């Protein structure tokens, strides 16, 4: 007897419907076709034990299993559940007229319990696209899959529950989630706030400008000056995620298996902070079983690299292309996949090996050569992609002990959103451009050309401060954002002046000027 059930295979963000065909004939052999990996093939043993535990015998017959399309590699243990149901139906142990109506995914324990799987959300989206009536997933995955409307999603605890459901002998109800209500309720709930930060008004302003224009930023300062503290608060002033952005971000985290049990949609912008010992594959993605890397997990959010020079230099260089293209293509002998990675890159570092260069309260023991060698760990091409470079000093005791409460994240966020609205209006109809940081050279000349006084100031700054040629476009992009925050249609002298002040590391005398 031939029986078909349905599952799905994930390749990058692409999901393909997989038809599981099981044929039983006289004999005792077990044949598997369809390019399944070791986890898929080992499913036979898990299925056999789960059937026996729930009162069913694994059929003694010539069993042929095919997973179509047969030329697509199948990976993972999520095929256990649909394969078990197909074997039971082919053997006549269960009778159901609904196998064609449902897609199923789940890993079986030896006692028949259904374990969670990765990628439940993109699989649910595929099931709706293929016009399946419903999707059966592990109980732990039902919240993330249920955000897809026009699809019945059933979270099941065990193989026995699925058998009861398919044969109509048990009553089960689909999971219902008010997606918009859940999404908007959680958007503004943050554990941190900029009002917690004492002093550092100039760095707060730099972070506000970065958030308003989507600019990458690096902070250089001694230990304990608040670099990490302020970076962690950056998501609280970024514009809220749209529902489309949230869905895209949640899919990536679902595929990587990073969603918690009760999470339906990611409602806040991601903040990823990898350790400096991270490998290249963990950062950009890939591997034997390809998975999204940290840059993709930070999609629509922030990637924060603390102690930037401590990262492996070759690993850091792999960020250059994703920062420009906002996507990463990983090509190997057996696969080629593409992940989105549109993120804000925020970095922090000490100014020298001892950490106290420029600190008024500590003496730096590093030579100019040591400082220059330390700074050279960050390559020029990578630094070129960081629009805002600012120095940070320790907070004086008077400000640290002050009871005055600074601006809240909500107040700063309002200004950021107003600036973003101006950019949305400016770039309406231009595909792929959403903020000032994404402007091309032609667009810079069209939208960010300064007035005569501003141009003269920029010329003098580049000559006197020995700024590099690469700083020119970055200064104009940042100046355009500063003008948007001031609700100005044109870039003016004061906007250029502030933008120039954010190019500290481009100065030719940076390593010698305070020694």
* Euclidean distance between CA atoms 244 and 435, whole angstroms: 17
> What confidence score (pLDDT) does residue 264 get?
83
Q: Using an 8 Å Cβ cutoff, are 81 and 107 in contact?
A: yes
- Number of C-alpha atoms within 13 angstroms, CB side, residue 432? 9
From the CA atom positions of the chain, what is the Rg in Å?
28
- H helices, E strands: number in the chain: 22, 18
Distance of CA 322 to the CA centre of its chain: 13
Model confidence, pTM: 0.90
User: β-pairing, 152-156 with 134-138?
Assistant: parallel
pLDDT by residue for the chain (515 residues), tens only, comes to 899 999 999 988 899 999 999 999 999 999 999 999 999 999 999 999 999 999 999 999 999 999 999 999 899 999 999 999 999 999 999 999 999 999 999 999 999 999 999 999 999 999 999 999 999 999 999 999 999 999 999 999 999 999 999 999 989 999 998 877 877 777 777 888 998 888 888 999 999 999 999 999 999 999 888 899 999 999 999 999 998 899 999 999 999 999 887 778 898 999 999 999 999 999 999 888 889 999 999 999 999 999 999 999 999 999 999 998 899 998 887 778 899 999 999 999 998 999 888 888 888 899 888 988 888 888 888 888 899 999 998 887 676 666 667 789 999 999 999 999 999 999 998 988 889 999 988 999 999 999 899 999 999 988 888 777 778 888 999 999 999 999 999 999 999 999 999 987 765 555 554 44
CB-CB neighbours of 401 under 10 Å: 9
Bridge partners of residue 64, in order along the sequence: 23, 31
> What confidence score (pLDDT) does residue 335 get?
77
Spell out the residues 6+ positions from residue 37 whose beta carbon is closer than 8 angstroms to its own. 73, 74, 75, 76, 289
> What confidence score (pLDDT) does residue 362 get?
86
Q: Using an 8 Å Cβ cutoff, are 254 and 120 in contact?
A: yes
133 backbone φψ class: left, alpha, beta (φ>0; ψ -120 to 50): alpha
The residue assigned the tokens 């600012």 is 390
| Cα–Cα distances in angstroms (integers) from residue 500 to residues 349, 387, 464, in the given order | 20, 10, 12
The residue assigned the tokens 């250029």 is 496
3-state secondary structure (DSSP) of residue 142: helix
Roughly what angle, to the nearest 10 degrees, separates helices 243-255 and 179-186? 90
3-state secondary structure (DSSP) of residue 342: coil
3-state secondary structure (DSSP) of residue 265: coil
Q: Which tokens belong to 427?
A: 């770039």
Q: Using an 8 Å Cβ cutoff, are 374 and 352 in contact?
A: yes
The residue assigned the tokens 């100065």 is 507
> What confidence score (pLDDT) does residue 179 get?
77
Q: Using an 8 Å Cβ cutoff, are 447 and 480 in contact?
A: yes
Q: Using an 8 Å Cβ cutoff, are 218 and 388 in contact?
A: yes
* Euclidean distance between CA atoms 505 and 341, whole angstroms: 26
Give the residue among 97, 95, 103, 99 at the shortest CA–CA distance from 120. 103
Report phi then psi at 478, rounded to 5.
-65, -40
Q: Report the alpha-carbon angle 354-307-495, nearest 5.
A: 100
What single DSSP character describes residue 399?
Answer: H
């Amino acid at each position: 007897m031939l029986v078909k059930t349905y599952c799905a295979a994930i390749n990058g963000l692409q999901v393909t419907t997989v038809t599981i065909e099981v044929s039983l004939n006289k004999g005792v052999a077990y044949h598997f076709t369809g390019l399944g990996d070791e986890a898929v093939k080992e499913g036979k043993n898990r299925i056999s034990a789960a059937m026996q535990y729930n009162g069913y015998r694994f059929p003694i017959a010539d069993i042929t299993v095919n997973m179509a399309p047969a030329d697509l590699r199948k990976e993972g243990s999520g095929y256990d559940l649909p394969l078990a149901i197909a074997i039971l139906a082919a053997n006549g142990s269960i009778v159901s007229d609904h196998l064609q109506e449902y897609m199923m995914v789940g890993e079986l324990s030896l006692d028949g319990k259904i374990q969670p799987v990765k990628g439940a959300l993109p699989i649910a989206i595929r099931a709706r696209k293929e016009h399946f009536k419903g999707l059966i997933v592990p109980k732990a995955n039902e919240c993330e899959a249920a955000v897809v409307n026009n699809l019945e999603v059933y979270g099941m605890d065990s193989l026995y529950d699925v058998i009861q459901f398919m044969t109509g002998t048990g009553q089960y109800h689909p999971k219902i989630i008010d997606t918009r209500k859940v999404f908007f309720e959680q958007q503004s709930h943050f554990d941190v706030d900029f009002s917690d930060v004492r002093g550092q008004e100039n760095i707060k302003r730099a972070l506000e400008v970065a958030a308003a224009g989507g600019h990458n930023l690096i902070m250089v300062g001694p230990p304990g000056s608040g670099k990490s503290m302020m970076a962690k608060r950056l998501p609280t002033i970024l514009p809220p995620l749209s529902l489309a952005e949230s869905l895209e971000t949640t899919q990536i985290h679902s595929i990587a298996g990073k969603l918690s049990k009760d999470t339906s949609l990611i409602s806040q912008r991601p903040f990823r902070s990898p350790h400096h010992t991270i490998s290249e594959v963990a950062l950009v993605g890939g591997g034997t079983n390809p998975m999204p890397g940290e840059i993709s997990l930070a999609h629509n959010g922030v990637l924060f690299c603390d102690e930037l020079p401590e990262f492996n230099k070759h690993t850091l260089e792999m960020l250059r292309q994703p920062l420009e293209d906002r996507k990463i293509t990983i090509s190997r002998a057996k696969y080629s996949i593409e992940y989105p990675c549109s993120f804000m890159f925020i970095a922090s570092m000490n100014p020298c090996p001892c950490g106290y260069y420029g600190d008024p309260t500590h003496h730096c023991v590093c030579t100019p050569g040591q400082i220059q060698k330390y700074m050279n760990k960050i390559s020029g091409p990578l630094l070129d992609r960081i629009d805002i470079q600012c120095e940070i000093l320790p907070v004086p005791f008077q400000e640290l002990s002050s009871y005055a409460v600074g601006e809240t994240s909500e107040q700063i966020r309002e200004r950021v959103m107003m600036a973003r609205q101006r950019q949305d209006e400016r770039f309406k109809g231009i595909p792929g451009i959403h903020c000032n940081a994404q402007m091309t050279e032609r667009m810079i000349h069209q939208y960010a050309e300064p007035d005569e006084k501003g141009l003269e100031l920029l010329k003098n700054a580049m000559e006197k401060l020995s700024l590099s040629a690469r700083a020119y476009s970055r200064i104009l992009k940042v100046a355009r954002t500063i003008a948007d925050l001031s609700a100005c249609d044109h870039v003016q002298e004061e906007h250029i002046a502030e933008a120039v002040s954010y190019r500290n590391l481009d100065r030719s005398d940076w390593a010698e000027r305070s020694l």
